[in-house]
Structure 1
Amino acid sequence: MKHVLILLLGVHLSYATRHSLQYFSTAVSGDSSIAEYTEVGLLDGCEFMYFDSNIMKAVPKTEWIRQNEGADYWDRVTQRLINNHQVDKNNIQVAKERFNQTGGVHTIQRMYGCEWDDDTGATDGFFQDGYDGEDFLSLDLKEMRWISPVQQGVITTQKWNNDKAMLEHYKQYFTTECVDWLKKYLEYEKRIHEKPVSPEVSIIHKDSSSPVSCHATGFYPCKVTITWLKNDQEHHEDVDLGELVPNEDGTYQRTSKLRVTPDEMKNNKFSCVVEHQGKIVTADEIRTNNGDSVPVGIIVGVVAAVVLLLVAGIVGFKVYQKKKGFKPVNSSDNGSNSSSSQTAA
Structure 2
Amino acid sequence: MNQPTTWIFLFLPLLWLNLQTTGGEIHSLRYIYTAFSKPVGLEGLHEFTAMGLLDNRMIDYFDSDNQTKVPKQDWMKERLPDDYWEKGTQSRKSKQQWFKVNIEILMKRMEQNDTNNHVLQWMHGCEGETQPNDTLKFKSGMDKYSYDGDDFLSFDDANSVWVAPITAAVLTKTKWDGVQVLKEYTKGYLENECMDWLNKFKNYGEKQLREASPPEVFLFAKETKIETNIMLTCLATGFYPKDITMNIKRNGRVLTVEDGLESSGVRPNDDDTHQIRKSVEILRSDSSTYTCQIIHNATGVDVENVWASDRSLSNGSDSGVSSEIHSLRYIYTAFSKPVGLEGLHEFTAMGLLDDRMIDYFDSDHQVKVPKQDWMKERLPDDYWEKGTQSRKSKQQWFKVNMEILMKRMRQNDSDVHVLQWMHGCEGETQPDDTLKFKRGIDRYGYDGNDFLYFNDTNSVWVAAVPAAEPSKRKWDGVQVLIEYTKGYLENECMDWLNKFVEYGKTDKSSPEVYMFVKDTNTETNVTLTCMATGFYPKDITLQIKKNGRVITEEDGLVSTGVRPNNDDTYQTRDSVEILRNQMSAFTCEVIHSASGVHINRSLGHGDTAIDPGNQDPSPEKEVALHDNGEDTV
The TM-score normalised by the length of structure 1 is 0.61
Q: Which residue pairs with 1:126 in the alignment?
A: 142
Q: Which of 11, 26, 34 in structure 2 is aligned with 1:26? A: 34
Aligned equivalents of 2:38 and 2:483: distance in 1?
Answer: 48
Structure with the larger RCO, 1 or 2 (CA within 8 Å, 6+ apart): 1
The answer as to 2:47 corresponding to 1:36 is yes
Alpha-carbon distance, 1:258 to partner: 7.0
Q: State the match for 2:79 in structure 1.
A: 68
Q: Which amino acid aligns with 1:20?
A: S
What's the counterpart of residue 182 of structure 2? 166
Match of 1:101 among 92, 112, 117: 112
In structure 1, the partner of 2:97 is 86
The superposition leaves residues 158-177 of structure 1 with CA deviations (integer Å, 9 ceiling, x where unpaired) of 00001111111111111100
1:194-249 deviation digits (Å, cap 9, x = unpaired): 3893788xxxxxxxxxxxxxxxx9876895189699xx99686xx6235259xxxx
The Cα of 1:330 is off from its aligned counterpart by: 6.7
The number of residue pairs the alignment matches comes to: 248
Is 1:241 matched up with 2:467? no
Gaps in structure 1 of 5+ consecutive residues: 1-13, 201-216, 246-252, 274-327, 333-337
Contact 2:144 2:620 in 1 (8 A): no
> Relative to 1, partners in 2 of residues 1:125 and 1:26: Cα closer, same or farther, differing over 3 Å?
same
Letter in 2 for 1:93: E
The corresponding residue for 2:123 is 111
Contact 1:228–1:272 (8 Å) recurs in 2: no
Q: 2:170 aligns with which of 154, 172, 181?
A: 154
Distance 2:46 2:141 in 1: 28
Paired with 2:210 and 2:477, the residues of 1 have a C-alpha distance of 46
1:170 maps to amino acid? T
Instruction: State how far apart, in whole Å, the 2-side matches of 1:165 and 1:268 are.
Output: 59
Does structure 2 retain, via aligned residues, the 8 Å contact 1:80–1:340?
Answer: no
Contact 1:41 1:49 in 2 (8 A): yes
1:262 offset after TM fit, Å? 11
Question: In 2, are the aligned partners of 1:197 and 1:219 still within 8 Å (CA)?
Answer: yes
Question: 1:269 and 2:483 equivalent?
Answer: yes
SS in 2 for 1:111: strand
What is the distance in 2 between the residues matched to 1:258 and 1:96?
A: 48
| Equivalent AA in structure 2 for residue 45 of structure 1 | N
Q: Which stretches in structure 2 are left out of the alignment for 5+ residues?
A: 1-21, 217-236, 242-267, 272-421, 426-436, 452-462, 488-618
Q: 1:177 and 1:244, CA in 2 relative to 1: closer, same or farther beyond 3 A?
A: farther
CA distance in 1, matches of 2:214, 2:626: 37
Kindly provide the CA deviation profile for residues 4-61 of structure 1, in whole angstroms up to 9, marking residues without a partner as x.
xxxxxxxxxx984111001111001233414211011011111010000100000000
C-alpha contact 1:22 1:41 (8 A) present in aligned 2: yes
Per the alignment, residue 311 of structure 2 pairs with none
Q: Distance in 2 between matches of 1:121 and 1:262?
A: 46
Local SS of the residue matching 2:65: coil
Choose 124-133 or 114-123, whichever is displaced more.
114-123
Match of 1:187 among 203, 207, 212: 203
Measure, in 2, the Cα distance between the counterparts of 1:137 and 1:183: 28
- Taking the aligned partners of 1:267 and 1:163, their CA distance within structure 2 comes to 61
Task: State the Cα distance separating 1:193 from its structure 2 match.
Answer: 2.1
Bigger Cα displacement from structure 2, 121-130 vs 167-176: 121-130
SS in 1 for 2:89: helix
Aligned partner of 1:29: which letter? S
Shift of 1:339: 7.9
Alignment match, 2:258: none
d(CA) in 2 for partners of 1:228, 1:122: 33
CA–CA distance in 1 between the matches of 2:65 and 2:117? Answer: 18
The residue type equivalent to 1:155 in the other structure is L
In structure 1, C-alpha distance between the alignment counterparts of 2:143 and 2:118, rounded to whole Å: 20
In 2, distance between residues paired with 1:269 and 1:330?
47
CA deviation after TM superposition for structure 1 residue 268, in Å: 6.4
Offset at residue 125 of structure 1 (A):
0.7
| Counterpart among 134, 153, 162 of residue 137 in structure 1 | 153
**Could you tell me which residue of structure 2 aligns to residue 48 of structure 1?**
59
Query: What CA distance in whole angstroms lies between the structure 1 residues aligned with 2:39 and 2:85?
Result: 28
SS of match in other structure, 2:464: strand
State the shift of 1:63 in Å.
1.0
Say whether residues 1:254 and 2:254 are aligned partners. no
Q: Kindly provide the amino acid, as one letter, of the partner of residue 66 in structure 2.
A: I
SS at match of 1:64: helix
Classify 1:185/1:266 alpha carbon distance in 2 versus 1 (closer, same or farther; 3 Å). closer
Identity of counterpart residues, as a percentage?
A: 29
Aligned partners of 1:267, 1:71: CA distance in 2, in Å?
Answer: 50
Give the drift of 1:150. 1.1
Cα 1:171–1:56 change in 2 (3 A) is: same
Larger Cα Rg: Structure 1 or Structure 2?
Answer: 2
* 1:341 partner SS: coil
Give the C-alpha shift of residue 254 in structure 1: 3.3
SS of 1:197's equivalent? coil
Q: Secondary structure at the match of 2:31?
A: strand
Cα distance between partner residues in 2 of 1:72 and 1:139: 31
In structure 2, what residue type is equivalent to 1:254? A
* Amino acid aligned to 1:54: D
Matched, 1:224 2:270: yes
Change (3 A) 1:235 1:53: closer
The alpha carbon displacement at 1:340 in A equals 7.9
